[in-house]
Amino acid sequence: MKPAPFAYYAPSSVADALDAISRADDPEDLKVLAGGQSLVPMLNLRLAQPGTLLDINKLGREWGNIELDPAAVRVGALVRQRAAERSAVVTEWCPLLAEALPHVAHVQIRTRGTIGGSIAHADPAAELPVVALALDAQLHITGLRGERSVPAAGFFQGFFTTALAPDELLSRIDFPRLPAGSGTSFAEVSRRRGDFALVAAAAVVTVREGRIADARLAFAGVAPCPVRSVAAESALRAAEPAPDVVESAAQAAAGALTPRADVHGSASYRRHMARVLAIKALTTALERSVSPGG
């Protein structure tokens, strides 16, 4: 199939992009084209039939950079997934993102797909949204009403649904730098290498003076959007890092999930894998954390 007809704009600045949005008769009828690795198949299958396509690829000068800030790794929405994967800044300062990226599709797709596109698309089985959630990333949004930023916890709102309004663009993702004593890990099960996750777990822990000072655990593939496990996080906080602590936190996490069955796996299989992957991710994250006092 071929896409239904649409008007095409390719602005060369953010100001021009906003101007194009302001001139759209109905912002709901407009779709943003970034890497096109999710949108183009949807257009070709006519699952999406926008009246207007706003190609933001020429905004790369403004939104295509990775910068190291004292507080965060700032990743422009148009940074290609492959560029982030190969970035020394990401490898050193945001190792959870670096570890998750090779799980996203295949090299050819990552060469074109963008970090912002994956996060804005918010597929419940995608790797980058769950990384953003586990790291408490800050999502920067630009629109006709100005700029705003939303924490990842408020950004992912449901099945392919985010806090972005139809007339807004995701411009940058700030992945906070972690304090000393922190470790992170990403674990996933998928049918084949390069497939979306059946279940994925992302863990972030900080160990201070021999105790877990902070812990975040997030899952993909078990709910309509990525979710954090409050039950596991509170079971881990202030505890001494030990296998039984990790196992009971993972059990608490899995017990609180209500995944849906689909052609790829039953609900009980997904819940089981959530527990297994939580143990794996938390154990590795704890091993990677370097505790100054313990």
Ligand X SMILES: Cc1cc2nc3c(=O)[nH]c(=O)nc-3n(C[C@H](O)[C@H](O)[C@H](O)COP(=O)(O)OP(=O)(O)OC[C@H]3O[C@@H](n4cnc5c(N)ncnc54)[C@H](O)[C@@H]3O)c2cc1C
Can residue 170 be called a binding residue for ligand X (CB under 6 A)?
Answer: yes
- 76 φ, ψ to 5°? -60, 145
Nearer to ligand X, 176 or 194 (CB): 194
Smallest distance, ligand X to C-beta of residue 36, A: 4
Can residue 183 be called a binding residue for ligand X (CB under 6 A)?
Answer: no
Cα separation, 270 vs 248, in Å, equals: 18
CA 57-9-85 angle, to 5 degrees, is 15
Nearer to ligand X, 48 or 267 (CB): 48
Can residue 126 be called a binding residue for ligand X (CB under 6 A)?
Answer: yes
Smallest distance, ligand X to C-beta of residue 51, A: 13
Cα separation, 64 vs 140, in Å, equals: 14
Could you tell me how many helices (H) and strands (E) the chain has, helices first? 13, 14
Nearer to ligand X, 41 or 294 (CB): 41
Nearer to ligand X, 163 or 245 (CB): 163
Can residue 104 be called a binding residue for ligand X (CB under 6 A)?
Answer: yes
Site for ligand X (CB under 6 A): which residue of 35, 181, 259, 265? 35
Can residue 64 be called a binding residue for ligand X (CB under 6 A)?
Answer: no
Cα separation, 50 vs 36, in Å, equals: 14
Site for ligand X (CB under 6 A): which residue of 118, 138, 229, 284? 118
Can residue 124 be called a binding residue for ligand X (CB under 6 A)?
Answer: no
Can residue 226 be called a binding residue for ligand X (CB under 6 A)?
Answer: no
Residues in binding contact with ligand X, number by CB under 6 A: 31
Of residues 122, 134, 117, the one with CA closest to residue 81: 117
Site for ligand X (CB under 6 A): which residue of 33, 133, 198, 200? 33
Alpha helices in the chain (DSSP H): 14-23, 39-44, 60-63, 81-85, 88-93, 95-100, 107-112, 115-121, 127-134, 152-155, 230-236, 243-255, 267-288
Handedness of CA 1, 118, 60, 101 (dihedral sign): negative
Per-residue burial over 211-224, b if 16 or more Cβ lie within 10 Å, else e, is bbbbbbbbbbbbbe
Can residue 127 be called a binding residue for ligand X (CB under 6 A)?
Answer: yes
Smallest distance, ligand X to C-beta of residue 102, A: 10
Measured N-to-C along each axis, helices 267-288 and 243-255 cross at an angle, to the nearest 10 degrees, of: 150
The two three-digit tokens of residue 117, written as one number: 């596109």
Can residue 199 be called a binding residue for ligand X (CB under 6 A)?
Answer: no
Site for ligand X (CB under 6 A): which residue of 97, 120, 133, 152? 120
Q: Which residues bind ligand X (CB under 6 A)?
A: 31-39, 41, 77, 104-105, 109, 113-114, 116-118, 120-121, 123, 126-128, 164, 169-170, 194-196
